[in-house]
Structure 1
Amino acid sequence: MKVAQFSVWMALAASAGAAVHTAKTPVDYVSPNIGGIGQLLTATSPLVQLPHGMVRLAPVTTPEIKDRYLADKIYGFPAGAGTIMVTTGMPSTIPAENASEFDHDFETATPYFYKVELATSGAAAAYTATAEAAIYRFTIPEADQGHIVLMQGEDAFLKTVGTRAVAGGMRIHGSTGPLSEVSSMARQYIYAEFSQPLASVSTWVGGARGTATEVHGSRIGLAARVSGLVEVRIGVSYISEEQAHRNLDRETKGKSFEALKSANRSAWEKALGQVKVDGGTESQKTIFYTALWRSLGRMTNITEDGKYYSGFDHEVHDAEGHDFYNEDGLWDTFRSMHPLQLLLDGHRQEDMVRSYLRMYQQGGWLPSFPSIAGEQAVMIGHHADQLILDTYAKGFRDFDLSLAYEAMKKNATEATMLPWKRGGLTSLDKVYLEKGFFPSLALGEAETVPEVTHEKRQPVSVTLEVAYDDWTVSEVAKALGKSEDAALFARRAHNYVNLFNAETGFMAPKSADGKWVEKFDPKNGGGQGGREYTTEVDSWLYTFSVQHDPEGLIRLMGGRDAFNKRLDQLFVEQYDTSKFHFLGQFPDATGLVGLYAQGNEPSLHIPYMYDFSGQPWKAQKRLRQLMDVWYTDGPLGISGDDDGGELSSWYVLSAMGFYPECPGSPVYEIGSPIFTRSAITLGNGKVFAVVAEGASAQNKYIQSAILNGAPWSKPWFSHADIAQGGTLKLVMGPKPNVNWGSLPADAPPSMTH
């Protein structure tokens, strides 16, 4: 070929290639297997669902292998709370015997669609989801005899409906606290339709096979012969099997698998497309959009045809025009997941607050870890308070604030503060109410209070987190004009002072008589997880757990210099023995930089405290380090338990360059954006952009700033500054500007300020 002809041919080929090339959209960057291997504890799952959708699908892998990405087999796929699986040959009543080996190289995982080859059987599975239905496609080799196997768990039923449908349901759990005796009242129902008639149907209860068309009991199953390509559509409901059927028809009838898959993709394109980023690497965009996707899974909207089932009174209610949301973990999610969701859709957040208030009316307490079965009674604190105040303070007020205050005050004055416990006051709570701290046992002293669980007292952490809760109650009281209550809870919000030991410079435990616990070790004290004194991490971290009053903490420590010295040391302090022994005691404290633990939520606000202490450039340095080291685009890419999206939401906000250090206070602290431009379309359609001129791996330090066209010297901005859109323009450089944002007058608001 002549050179000229070759050049023309290459040009045409390049042109043709460009014509078929499709630019990536945000959903294309999502990699659901990020975090599939836990750093030490829980791994993530490659869920297929709609944003906040009730149906969440992921392969059910080998139960004993907790690092889900490393599992050797798939046992099945979700069918409501039970499972569905395709086999070749004779199906077994034992799930492990129907399982199939699989290989991630023959797997496609996206937010809206999943498919995998089942190596053992030679079959293939694919699925997508609507809000309340799962849509499966199973392909069975033509030469093989295939079976579909449906299994349900405890107190369950399955029955055939004609020749192409199966209805079923089972009891579900979720409560680990005092509601466990009634959690059995919650049930999940399914209605499954098949694209071909079911032949040779068999059923079983336990291991006993039969041919009954309807079975009841525990560990029940149904198997039917199918062949070739079979599609199974499963409607899900918490109300009834009839409602599951209605949900299925409403969402899937007359729609093809490809159309439903496309609709799910479009929903994620819309949700993820609210945030556009420029600059950064392809890897950083993958991490970013995967984190954003993970931040939009919960809370779950469980409204079905304008009704919802509540696990708090076990009744079906009319939603009255406001969707009901459930499944949350506020010890984690109040910190950044809910604030991020508020930016994207504040009106949805109002409905979430309304949902919490309904739970209060139905169950008697304002919950912190609601599930379908009711309150799970997990962790510490009453952090629905922060969700309520943060929503109200940022201008989203379509809920009954007086009712919210009633619920908050009841929790603050009548509910136990004990970890992993719900109910009325104990003798330990009365010490807090009378003396301003939650009391500890002396070193080696046996527990004397019967209400204390195996999670121990965690008194230092309880005191600090409840003081923060009390601040939020005070702020809501103030908004309602309840001046006496506001003053009372403002005094209680200072209770963190009662546990600061000026001699050691740490938050430390006190016994009920007000004496310091002797021989307290702020690094290694407290036994497993530190739970005799703290929650999952040690006092080196919890000493900084004063989110509502950093300025007060700074003064308590002796001023900015002393505070910064201690904060600097946190990031370099080492273990007294070995990392092995330290993590054996504190397995939640993953993602370590010194003793700072990016893998556990009490740490997440701490780097931003430099914005309060006059050294925001140190926040910029540390935040870049934390994002670069502890968030990657592979199976080890999450630094700890993501807890439904909390660690991911921290990354999303931090990568854009700002973060709410104190939810409830309508401000955001400024960090160091990794993208040259991040634009978020707010729920009202307005756009707020962070432009970081020259941002790069080296250019991590802010040189100057302009907010909405005016020079800006503060390392923070208010929600009001961005509520109608706007631009924060940052000029970035390779060396810190130690003067920018350093004056005391520049510091963000604080209770003491």
Structure 2
Amino acid sequence: MKAYLILCLILCPAWLQAQHTPEKRVVQYVNPFIGTGAVDTNSLSGSNIPGPTTPFGFVQLSPDTRDAPDDPASGYDYNDKTIVGFSHTHLSGTGVADLFDVLLMPTQGEVKLSPGKSQVSRSGYRSTFSHQQETARPGYYQVLLQDYGINAELTATAHTGMHRYTFPASTQSHIVIDLDHSLNKKRGYWECRIIDAELKVINNHTLEGYRIITGWASLRKVYFHAEFSKPFDNVVMANGNNTPYPTTLLNGTALKAALNFSTTDKEQVLVKVALSAVSIDNAKMNMAAELPGWDFDNISRQCADNWEKELSKIKIEGTPEQKQIFYTGLYHAFTQPNNIADVNGDYQATDLTIGNAPDKVQYSTFSLWDTYRAAHPLYTLLQPERTAGFINTMIRQYKTYGYLPIWQLWGEENYCMIGNHAIPVIVDAVLKGIPGINAQDAYEAIKASSVTEHPGSPFAAWEKYGYIPEDIESQSVSISVEMAYDDWCVAQLARKLGNTADYNHFMERSAFYKNLYNVKTGFFQAKNKDGNWVTPFNPLSYGGNGGSPYTEANAWQYSWYVPQNVPGLINLMGGNKAFTAKLDTFFTLANKPGDVNGNASGFIGQYAHGNEPSHHIAYLYDYAGEPWKTQYYVSKVLNELYNNSSSGYAGNEDCGQMSAWYIFSSMGFYPVNPANGIYAIGSPILKAAAITLPNGKTFSVSVKNPGKPNIYIQSVKLNGKPYTKTYITQNDIISGGRLEFIMGTKPNKSWGITPAGVPPVWGYNN
């Protein structure tokens, strides 16, 4: 008894301390520098931003390391040595640049607003910086601008950015405002030019303005209202290379201003900048609603707390590196789409009128060719209310523009990429019963978008030939197989709504992929309108975004794109053995030098994880009786093509898709067909995961023996019962429950190989 009491006295303090140790916040695992700069030839930059933003917020305040951002599209490259300033809007993870609105930069000494023609490509106020004096976390960014000794700190609300600059003592302290900063105006995919701009001093602590600019989005209106905690002594402005001069109002197409101060040592000057796509008055309203005061630290904490709430919807157990990759991925996935509506619901519609969203949300930045695959299915699980907002936004675009978004930016359609992939996003959400969506309105929009001719969607040829001829539309193979999938999605919603004629018609179109399958070569190939195959044919030859039958891929990568009917694809290729043999070749056939383009990276044979056409392919072995090979290749991608460095992605992060692949796959499953309610099982690498569902239930995953070399499934249980299917369903997840894996070093070739264990085409009861 005495020994027991002594043991209690020894252990109790530690036990009590353990009971009162606060759980580590998940935001502490987010590393915003992941995906901000490539370091090897098998990866792209990721093109992510390190600066602060709120979940799905309008403002994304981040440093730009380039005067004319182009590549990486985020404007920030981890490998650069200088910063040109801090702009308030960015794209995160895209392959093409735009935005970069209202750049601020604190400086000291002489400032050159007009560097002259010899230096026109370089700002006169950039500064060197070091990563050793730079910090980023959700809700906060900090860097020391070494040329000036100024410490810059940033935080954000949904519509405003807040800056805190700590200056050394000087009679020549400045804050530059640059309305000329943009994507590269001299080269790139789109012509970029500023049509009009204005800077206006309201008083000695307030400045307002706007710019109207073309670029990836063809016409953007950006209005801002800025307030300063310290009155400025005077202002000089310049338009282009003209000599700066004191004024309180300037109009032009290349505007810059320097607000001049005298500062004492370590004096802090704060700036608040609110944006609107509607008007300056709305920008002021946004600031009054979200950022009336000057408490920088409190705003930063609120932003971090917002992220904590969103990221905590999934709790995981794993290695520190896995947690960093996972939660940073979830952070990137929740960075967009962006709510461009002001706090009163005003937004600029696609017809350039001012609309008002009754739910105060109008989303933009729909990178649908990427995100429909896994990011949007992730949103349906974790963000159902926002999913309804996404879809109602898409329907509003249809009502003012005539069809659904393809790639929508700043509320405008830019026609980037192929297919009509708002369709699977909408159909998936309706079939999952996401509240707040009118199914009849949704069907009207998807049907009209499937028959109305618009750029990249030649439906008359589609109906006439049963495929897209290459001599009518370039990228014909990719467009054909992707439109066939979209048609399948239209058919499923038609069936749900009892429209049998439409169901039959669109199901017939969903099988048009067969018309481009060449049985002699075993590939989907291009035909001309005369029905002849386009020659010469090289399955290793890459296409970009035109001039080839394939979009950012080759024939090898597009051979596997029939997510609506994988059994039909298997039969087309000659059955399970022929199918898996070709998959084996796909994952082992090396590229020839020069065969790839800038969107191809992260290779395992011909599999290119750095771009979306490959993302579902590793899971296809599940459908053909060899699930252990799915486990092998999924684990290989998880362990080798993601890391927690600046080059943590194998390609552009693409607005959440690259992250969503990791989030799903690390938990052990993935939506090969993102609209059929089926998730194919892969190879989980986390020790545990728990998804808190909107209905209050929890779906949890636990893994015994996780991680390398235990990459193979030995057995599975679902809700305590042995489970031999290579898939789970949407109903399994939303009903709550527990999925348990036992992993090992050698494949269990008897698990999941029965016909009943193969993922079906359809996962719903209706």
1:491 aligned residue (504, 508, 516) = 508
- In 1, the alpha carbon distance for the partners of 2:759 and 2:403 equals 33
Deviation at 1:518, TM superposition (A): 3.1
2:669 aligned residue (649, 654, 658) = 658
1:161 is matched by which residue type in structure 2? I
Cα pair 1:672 1:700 within 8 Å, conserved = yes
Cα pair 1:529 1:587 within 8 Å, conserved = no
Deviation at 1:531, TM superposition (A): 4.4
Deviation at 1:732, TM superposition (A): 1.5
Cα pair 1:74 1:100 within 8 Å, conserved = yes
Residues 62-77 of structure 1 correspond to what in structure 2 (within 5 A)? 62-63=66-67, 66=71, 68-77=77-86
Q: Aligned with 2:84: secondary structure?
A: strand
Cα pair 2:278 2:348 within 8 Å, conserved = no
Query: 1:6 corresponds to which residue?
Result: none
1:36–1:14 Cα change, 3 Å? farther
Query: 1:560 corresponds to which residue?
Result: 576
- In 2, the alpha carbon distance for the partners of 1:530 and 1:233 equals 43
Query: 2:184 corresponds to which residue?
Result: none
Deviation at 1:718, TM superposition (A): 1.1
1:676–1:78 Cα change, 3 Å? same
Q: Quick check: 432-441 or 464-473, which moved more?
A: 432-441
How many residue pairs get aligned? The number is 707
1:83 aligned residue (103, 107, 112) = 103
1:513–1:751 Cα change, 3 Å? farther
Q: Deviations over 1:440-469 (max 9, x none)?
A: 24xxxxxxx6xx6xxxx0111111000001
Residues 434-513 of structure 1 correspond to what in structure 2 (within 5 A)? 434-441=464-471, 457-513=474-530
1:391 maps to 2:425: no
Q: Deviations over 1:298-356 (max 9, x none)?
A: 11112223323234011222211352211111000101111112111212101111110
Cα pair 1:345 1:682 within 8 Å, conserved = no
1:263 maps to 2:302: yes
Q: Quick check: 485-494 or 611-620, which moved more?
A: 611-620
Query: 1:188 corresponds to which residue?
Result: 222
Cα pair 1:128 1:261 within 8 Å, conserved = yes
Q: Quick check: 38-47 or 610-619, which moved more?
A: 38-47
Cα pair 1:530 1:537 within 8 Å, conserved = no
2:64 is matched by which residue type in structure 1? V
Q: Deviations over 1:170-195 (max 9, x none)?
A: 1143546xxx4xx2xx3111111101
Residues 2-21 of structure 1 correspond to what in structure 2 (within 5 A)? none
Query: 1:29 corresponds to which residue?
Result: 29
1:31 is matched by which residue type in structure 2? N
Q: Deviations over 1:267-289 (max 9, x none)?
A: 111111111111x3211211111
Query: 1:515 corresponds to which residue?
Result: 532
Query: 2:449 corresponds to which residue?
Result: 411
Query: 2:371 corresponds to which residue?
Result: 333
1:218 maps to 2:253: yes
Q: Deviations over 1:17-39 (max 9, x none)?
A: 99999764211111111122242
Q: Deviations over 1:536-571 (max 9, x none)?
A: 110101000111111100011111111000111111
1:235–1:152 Cα change, 3 Å? same
Query: 1:533 corresponds to which residue?
Result: 549
1:414 is matched by which residue type in structure 2? T
Q: Quick check: 694-703 or 304-313, which moved more?
A: 304-313
1:693 aligned residue (687, 704, 712) = 704
1:547–1:329 Cα change, 3 Å? same
1:146–1:417 Cα change, 3 Å? closer
1:430 aligned residue (457, 460, 478) = 460
- In 1, the alpha carbon distance for the partners of 2:621 and 2:431 equals 24
Q: Which of structure 1's runs of 4+ aligned residues deviate more than 3 A?
A: 13-24, 63-67, 172-176, 526-531
Query: 2:751 corresponds to which residue?
Result: 740
1:98 is matched by which residue type in structure 2? Y
Query: 1:446 corresponds to which residue?
Result: none
Cα pair 2:60 2:88 within 8 Å, conserved = no
Q: Aligned with 1:729: secondary structure?
A: strand
1:275 maps to 2:302: no
Cα pair 2:678 2:762 within 8 Å, conserved = no
1:439 is matched by which residue type in structure 2? P
Residues 566-645 of structure 1 correspond to what in structure 2 (within 5 A)? 566-575=582-591, 577-578=592-593, 581-583=594-596, 586-645=597-656
- In 1, the alpha carbon distance for the partners of 2:630 and 2:392 equals 36
Cα pair 1:551 1:751 within 8 Å, conserved = no
1:145 maps to 2:172: yes
1:240 maps to 2:279: yes
Cα pair 1:62 1:72 within 8 Å, conserved = no
Q: Quick check: 61-70 or 348-357, which moved more?
A: 61-70
Q: Aligned with 1:698: secondary structure?
A: coil
Deviation at 1:357, TM superposition (A): 0.1
Q: Aligned with 2:708: secondary structure?
A: coil
Query: 1:297 corresponds to which residue?
Result: 335
1:200 maps to 2:234: yes
What is the percent sequence identity of the aligned residues?
36
- In 2, the alpha carbon distance for the partners of 1:697 and 1:527 equals 36
1:83 is matched by which residue type in structure 2? L
Q: Deviations over 1:368-406 (max 9, x none)?
A: 111115101101000000100111121214212222222
Deviation at 1:700, TM superposition (A): 1.7
Structure 1: gaps of 5 or more residues = 1-10, 442-448
- In 2, the alpha carbon distance for the partners of 1:602 and 1:527 equals 12
2:49 is matched by which residue type in structure 1? S
Query: 1:96 corresponds to which residue?
Result: 123
Deviation at 1:53, TM superposition (A): 0.7
- In 2, the alpha carbon distance for the partners of 1:18 and 1:409 equals 58
2:163 is matched by which residue type in structure 1? Y
Cα pair 1:328 1:369 within 8 Å, conserved = yes
1:369 is matched by which residue type in structure 2? W
Structure 2: gaps of 5 or more residues = 1-10, 90-100, 115-121, 181-193
Cα pair 1:32 1:46 within 8 Å, conserved = yes
Q: Deviations over 1:469-489 (max 9, x none)?
A: 110111111111110110010
Query: 1:55 corresponds to which residue?
Result: 59
1:90 is matched by which residue type in structure 2? E
Deviation at 1:682, TM superposition (A): 1.6
Residues 100-179 of structure 1 correspond to what in structure 2 (within 5 A)? 100-143=127-170, 145-153=172-180, 154=194, 155-175=196-216
Deviation at 1:169, TM superposition (A): 1.1
Q: Quick check: 602-611 or 722-731, which moved more?
A: 722-731
Cα pair 1:551 1:752 within 8 Å, conserved = no
Cα pair 1:192 1:235 within 8 Å, conserved = yes
- In 1, the alpha carbon distance for the partners of 2:614 and 2:249 equals 52
1:202 is matched by which residue type in structure 2? V
Cα pair 2:44 2:610 within 8 Å, conserved = no
Q: Quick check: 598-607 or 151-160, which moved more?
A: 151-160
